[in-house]
Structure 1
Amino acid sequence: MTATETDRAGALHADAVRALGEWQPADPEQERLRLSYLRHLAEQPEGLYRSCLPAHITASAAVVDPAGGRVLLTLHPKVGRWLQMGGHCEPGDPDLASAALREATEESGIPGLTLLGRDGVPVPVKLDRHQVRCTGKDRPENTHLDVQYVAVAPPGAQALISEESLDLRWFDYDHLPELTDHSVRELVARARQLTG
């Protein structure tokens, strides 16, 4: 890493510690995950990047259209399930929320997304720990420590599928596709609750 990349990585790490340190989880299980993520960051200076194995922090966002009562999901080519937008942090990300917003914008094709927050500062809505093979299908599984946000789409937003997706569709909150897991359903329910 160059000196600039090292500085950015340090700033991203510090922001993740701040964001998770300030976050107020909704239940004891989320609190347990929050403390686990903070331990990971305390032990791993590079803990936000794909190269950190066996676990690393990721950032994602449920893209919602509250007026339409719907959520945008992507059919992930590696996982084979409908998921929220998200992925790995990159050295140019100034903070964790920006990583989630970048991923949501890239994967949805929708400019002008806005992350939900408090007092103008985006805040996570949920944490999820899951096993994946992001380093390749012939490699061992590793753990994503996902920090999840809610991104509100502007009125009339048109989604545009990216090369990172097999399909991209809006789904009514009450009619999510069968190929979604419990975590996605919980995230969508939380997004619905927060956006009214």
Structure 2
Amino acid sequence: MSPAGTALHADARAVLRSWTAPDPAQEELRRDYLAHLDRHADGVWRSCRPGHLTASTAIVDPEGRGMVLTLHRRIGLWLQVGGHCEPADGTLAATALREATEESGIPGLRLLPSPVRLDRHRVPCGGGSWHLDVQYAAIAPAGAPLTRVAEESDDLGWFPVDALPEPSDDACRALAAAASAAVRGTVPSGG
């Protein structure tokens, strides 16, 4: 494995080891992700066919009330932005921030330092695989306009966290709630 791959794998392990899961189901996923990394030296790369880590981001406004969603072309759902790790990323947080910036076109996103939740879901990658998604929250500058629709997206928009568009899924709604709570915890009262 390349030095970049080794560093990203080590970062993923460190992030998951230090992350405090909010409930027993998230703790079980955290342990499963670590076991996956123990079994697969390439567990952060798309080429790992049993499954691979990905990083996604709930982009929220400074008050934690609005969230950016993309209408995923292949899946047909409104979802958070995110995707696969790339060799230049170096860390899961770098993957999450790169994907969020690329897919939304919003400069100056501020990524919260720790993931807000985990989600494992089946995807068609390589004929069928699992995404072991490490989900972050990022705060967009106030009034940030959306300027891009990524190749894998049919649309992009801001939506109220408590009224996400349909079709979406339970995992996206859970991420929206977790990201909103995390961001509201970082915003001073009145501000």
- TM-score clears 0.5: yes
Q: Normalising to structure 1: TM-score of the pair?
A: 0.90
* Structure 2 SS opposite 1:8: helix
Alpha-carbon distance between aligned partners in 2 of 1:29 and 1:68, rounded to the nearest angstrom: 24
- Asked if 1:163 corresponds to 2:151, the answer is yes
Aligned length: 183
What is the rounded CA distance, in whole Å, between the counterparts of 2:65 and 2:177 in structure 1? 11
Separation in structure 2 between the aligned mates of residue 66 and residue 77 of structure 1, nearest angstrom: 28
Partner of 1:85: 81
Is the counterpart of residue 134 in structure 1 residue 130 in structure 2?
Answer: no
- From 168, 176, 184, the counterpart of 1:188: 176
Distance apart, 1:134 and its partner CA = 2.2
Render the CA deviation track for 1:132-152: whole Å, top value 9, x for unaligned.
1023xxx2x210000000011
Match of 2:139, as an amino acid? V
Select which of 72, 94, 97 maps to 1:98: 94
Counterpart contact for 2:62–2:142, Cα < 8 Å: no
Matched, 1:109 2:105: yes
- Calculate percent identity across the aligned residue pairs: 56
State the 1:68 CA deviation: 7.2
More displaced 10-residue stretch of structure 1: 161-170 or 19-28? 161-170
- 1:125 matched to 2:116? The reply is yes
Aligned to 2:164: 176
Query: Does the 8 Å CA contact 1:107/1:164 hold for their aligned counterparts?
Result: no
Gaps of 5+ in 2: 185-191
